[in-house]
Amino acid sequence: MPTARVNGVELYYEDTGQGVPLVWSHEFGGDYRSWEPQVRHFARRYRVITYNHRGYPPSSVPKDAAAYTHATLIEDLHQLLRHLGVRQAHVGGCSMGANVALNFGIAHPEMVRSLVIVGCGSGTVGREEFVAAQRATAEALERDGIEALIRNFQTLPTRRAFRHKDPRGWEEFLAYAREHDATACARLIRGVIVARKTIFELERELHALRVPTLVMTGDQDAPCVEPALFMRQHLPHAGLVVVPMTGHTVNIEEPGLFNLHVAEFLTAVENGRWGTWSA
């Protein structure tokens, strides 16, 4: 089982294929297995790296609540890539992982060949309701265990499209989520999800980021649509894909469309042909 001792924890990772590194950072409800459709597709041409954030077994699950912060997750990724000898990579993520990828690009632009930012709402719109709902979920996780998270996923409008159009995929997603650590999830909510900057609060940093970026969102993922448009407006070299009849997890809800768009994007970047990139 490949693990790397970085930033005071053991991170589980998988390293598949050869070529330019392509790194995927998973969402709060997922783990490294969320990227399996992308590993199988892109490892034919790229060195694909997936990993589990701290708090997600078989990565370390720290007992100290202070070990779960947004800055810590970004530094985990930084140190993991250095451990693997990766000097520059295409870096992508979904939801919480997209926020990590975006802020990794802001902190370490020299290490980023491009960014793929998927379902990145970051509690930007409807802020008060978002924070209240997240805190209630954290309390439920501590009180009732991981089934509280499963119940939450089953009622979220942003997850409805996945549940209805791909019941088999949805059940697999829930099965993986049931393996997560409830206490760690609660601490991630409090220390990362409600504590990080919103996308609107990153306006200055977005303007300064000169990295080719593909922003993707599902049209059924209402909290992420406005932040996606904001990133398209304020990131100098960003393009936007809105996937129809799709919710929060575009990469597993519509893996074919997702892989197609990302493949075209990576090819354009590798050939210096990504829109305004050369301007």
- Please report which confidence band the pLDDT of residue 1 belongs to, taking 50, 70 and 90 as the band edges: confident
pLDDT above 90: percentage of residues in the chain: 97
Give the count of beta carbons closer than 10 Å to the beta carbon of residue 76.
Answer: 24
Please state the pTM of the whole predicted model: 0.96
Q: 150-171, pLDDT tens digit by residue?
A: 999 999 999 999 999 999 999 9
Q: What is the CATH number of the domain that holds 243?
A: 3.40.50.1820
Looking up tokens 């209630």, which residue turns up?
A: 136
Round to whole Å and give the CA distance between 180 and 170.
Answer: 16
Q: 236-269, pLDDT tens digit by residue?
A: 999 999 999 999 999 999 999 999 999 999 999 9
Residue 275 has a pLDDT of 80
Asked if 246 and 220 count as a contact pair (C-beta separation under 8 A), the reply is yes
| Domain hosting residue 154, numbered range | 3-278
Asked if 84 and 49 count as a contact pair (C-beta separation under 8 A), the reply is yes
Asked if pLDDT for residue 279 goes beyond 90, the answer is: no
Asked if 178 and 146 count as a contact pair (C-beta separation under 8 A), the reply is yes
Asked if pLDDT for residue 277 goes beyond 60, the answer is: no
Round to whole Å and give the CA distance between 59 and 140.
Answer: 23
- Please report which confidence band the pLDDT of residue 278 belongs to, taking 50, 70 and 90 as the band edges: low
| H helices present in the chain, as ranges | 36-42, 70-83, 96-107, 127-144, 147-155, 157-165, 167-177, 182-188, 203-208, 222-234, 250-253, 255-270
Mean pLDDT of 222-237: 97
Q: 170-212, pLDDT tens digit by residue?
A: 999 999 999 999 999 999 999 999 999 999 999 999 999 999 9
Number of folded domains that form the chain: 1
Q: Which of 9, 103, 123 is nearest to 56 (CA)?
A: 9
Q: 8-23, pLDDT tens digit by residue?
A: 999 999 999 999 999 9
Asked if pLDDT for residue 148 goes beyond 70, the answer is: yes
Q: 83-113, pLDDT tens digit by residue?
A: 999 999 999 999 999 999 999 999 999 999 9
